[in-house]
Amino acid sequence: MVVLSKHHVGLAGTYRRAATRALNALLLSGAAICAAYADTQVGQTLPPPPSVLYGDLFVAVQTAQIYPDQKTFVDATPNADPAAIVQLYEQQKNTPGFSLSAFVAQYFTPPVDQVITPPPNQSLREHIDWLWPALTRTTTSVPANSSLIPMPKSYVVPGGRFREGYYWDTYFTMLGLQEAGREDLVDDMLDNFAYLIDTIGHIPNGNRTYYVSRSQPPFFSYMVELAAQKEGGRVYQKYLPQMRREYAYWMQGASALAPGGATRNVVMLPDRTVLNRYWDESDTPRDESYLEDVNTAKMVSGRAPNDVYRDLRAAAESGWDFSSRWFGDNQTLTTIRTTSIIPVDLNSLMFHLETTIARGCGEAHDFGCVGEYVGRAAKRALGINKYLWNKNGYYGDYDWQLAKPRDNVSAAALYPLFAGAAWPDRAHRTAQAVEAQLLKPGGLATTTFTTTQQWDAPNGWAPLHWIAVQGLKRYGRADLAQPIGTRFLADVKNVYATQQKLVEKYIVEGEGTGGGGGGEYPLQDGFGWTNGVTLQLLDLYGGG
């Protein structure tokens, strides 16, 4: 039996009575594949990513570590036509005294990190409100052959080395913008994402050419829902075409699958249950982490490097790059197997996308569509509760190639609660497992494993705390939501009191709380999603 939330049950009943029968139409066809040369509405054509644009020069620069951060070069702007730069490099690279660093300095302008200097004596809330303009960008046009993808309206970047907008970050940033009365920016960023879906076929990881081959956790339907809370049901209908196109992107190839098979982001299990996985169109090293990926693949025996690259990229699509969730041994990056894993968070988000499409179809009085997507959501909920329920008492991931659940509880366990796909008894058991294994002095630990990866213990992340708080409240566990929210908020306040900044992630356990660590780059300041979630937690649990 599928148990949906009261809202979803009511929605299904209302619209199913109105519909004579569910449409048997196929999924929307032709969701555009990641097109490196897609025409944009601002009259520009996207160049290839830097790895393609510069070829051997790109490999040489990244291998030589001309810049300490591999992202710097791919964000740099060429000072001449790329073909001419490559030709000059080929002519000069073997000449006596050639300096690669001097060549790069001559022909490329690296990005400049913004230095944010806030006024003194701001309260935490005042500081966040002051930060919004500092983190807002307008890039309706960009320099020729830049990796930055222009967007028609303004958007908020996370901060630090993240100089562009990111997909799933944006939802949590929007939470704070709406609280701060910036509905204009909420609408602008929704329009930007609708534009990306219309022109590229999906919302990329971020608005950079090297991110186009993948997406990120699909929060677009949550963004639509957020705007609708302030602006009314017409918002669901306004963005219905884009929600359906995004759904088609994530489900591409599903209709041709055989039981036990997988293609792109879709897996069909032996009983014909269809669920989603993270995936990337490319199977090469990431442009922004080229050397790290090459070195990782070199340490893996018995696997083709391209398979390793695909799994690394798929983990980047998950947003959890990197985490024990994707490791075969729960500890080591070289055992990564992301594409073999059906993630609990992704499928919960897809459930929400299906129910939100149904809501939009209802606004449009397309009741056949309502019936279709309510049915899809019901099947999804069954699949989640069959395959993504761990017998140890929590929602979790499933390894479809090994045909068994992953025994590693993580903060992602609360996504079915957040989306309303959890069965009530299982929601309460998950809450108990999370409280026993993940609740720490500074909030919610991301996993139970300490691996040196940033999406593992001892780190805690703002978006996961919001997922937890809202999911637990939805299923009647406000008593557990409160310590999770207040402990993390205290951690944020402590770092702000001592360092006058908000950061990307926080340490929530161990000898002392504070800014988090691990991963491929230093701790970043800013920080978009921390700002948004913090404002919401301040509203819920007090203080400023």
**Given the structure tokens 């693949």, which residue do they identify?**
297
Residues 6+ apart with CB under 8 A from 340: 399, 400, 401, 402
Determine whether the annotation assigns residue 205 to a binding site. yes
Q: Which residues contact 423 (CB under 8 A, 6 or more apart)?
A: 3, 385
Instruction: Indicate the residue type of 404.
Output: K
pLDDT of res. 110: 97
Catalytic position from the list 75, 293, 311, 321? 321
Return the bridge partners of 78, or none.
108
The residue among 518, 374, 373 whose CA lies nearest residue 458 is 518
For residue 491, indicate whether it is catalytic: no
* 137 DSSP assignment: E
Separation between Cα atoms, residue 259 and residue 268, nearest integer Å = 5
pLDDT, position 213: 98
Averaged over successive runs of 10 residues, the pLDDT of the chain (544 residues) comes to 41 36 27 34 70 98 98 98 98 98 98 87 96 96 96 96 97 98 98 97 98 98 98 97 98 98 98 98 98 98 97 98 98 98 99 98 98 98 98 98 98 99 98 98 97 97 98 98 97 95 94 83 92 98 75
Question: 406: annotated binding-site residue?
Answer: no
| Residue 295 pLDDT | 98
Q: 214 labelled as ligand-binding?
A: yes
Q: What is the pLDDT of residue 544?
A: 58
pTM > 0.75: yes
Q: What is the pLDDT of residues 372-387, one digit of tens each?
A: 999 999 999 999 999 9
User: For residues 417 and 467, what is the distance between their CA atoms, to the nearest angstrom?
Assistant: 8
Rg (CA), the chain: 23
Q: What pLDDT score was predicted for residue 115? A: 82
Residue 117: predicted pLDDT: 87
Q: Computed from CA positions of residues 303, 307, 309, 311, in that sequence, does the dihedral angle turn out positive or negative?
A: negative
Instruction: Report d(CA 147, CA 139) in Å as an integer.
Output: 12
Handedness of CA 315, 321, 325, 329 (dihedral sign): positive
Q: Give the Cα separation of 72 and 214 in Å (integer).
A: 20
- Say whether 216 counts as a known binding-site residue: yes
3-state secondary structure of 83: helix
d(CA 472, CA 470): 6
CB atoms within 10 A of CB 255: 11
Q: Is 169 annotated as a binding residue?
A: yes
Which pLDDT value is given to residue 20? Answer: 28
Model pLDDT, residue 15: 34
Closest by CA to 245, choosing from 288, 292, 203, 296, is: 203
- HEC assignment per residue over 409-449: CEHHHHHHHHHCCCCHHHHHHHHHHHHHHCEECCEECCECC
Identified catalytic residue from 188, 504, 509, 525: 504
What local confidence, expressed as pLDDT, does residue 522 receive? 87
User: Catalytic residue at 271?
Assistant: no
- For 41-88, the pLDDT digits (tens) are 333 479 999 999 999 999 999 999 999 999 999 999 999 999 999 999
pLDDT score of 301:
94
How many Å apart are CA 468 and CA 533, to the nearest integer? 12
